[in-house]
């Protein structure tokens, strides 16, 4: 079960990085990363384009 959670977390991190890399600043886009699966728990909002160290993962 823990390996499945790790895989899910890694997939979520990759998706978050991909979405962040295609976000266009002129449309005021942002990415919200959640601490738990299913958009639950605490979250962090990323508004700037570029590379980020995600707080949750």
Residue 57 counted as domain residue: no
21 and 32 Cβ atoms separated by less than 8 Å: no
β partners of residue 17: none
Which has the closest alpha carbon to 57: 18, 21, 8?
8
Predicted local confidence at residue 26, as pLDDT: 52
Mean pLDDT on 1-6: 80
**List of E strands, the chain:** 31-36, 40-46
Task: Establish if 56 belongs to a structural domain.
Answer: no
Claim: this prediction has a pTM higher than 0.85? no
Domain span at residue 15? 2-46
The answer as to whether 51 is a domain residue is no
Q: Tell me, yes or no, whether 53 lies in a domain.
A: no
Residue 6 lies in a domain: yes
Name the DSSP class of 2: H
pLDDT digits (tens, 9 = 90+) for 13-48: 888 877 776 665 556 678 888 888 888 888 888 887
Residue 39 domain-assigned (yes or no): yes
Number of domain units in the chain = 1
Q: What is the pLDDT at residue 53?
A: 77
Domain for residue 31, yes or no? Answer: yes
In the prediction, which pLDDT does 10 show? 87
Contact 2, 34 (CB under 8 A): no
pLDDT at 50: 76
Looking at the domain assignment, is residue 27 inside a domain?
yes
């Amino acid at each position: 079960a823990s390996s499945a959670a790790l895989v899910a977390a890694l997939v979520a991190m990759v998706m978050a990085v991909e979405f962040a890399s295609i976000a266009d600043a002129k449309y005021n886009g942002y990415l919200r990363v959640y601490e738990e699966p299913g958009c639950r728990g605490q979250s962090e909002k990323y508004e700037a384009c570029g590379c980020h160290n995600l707080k949750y993962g």
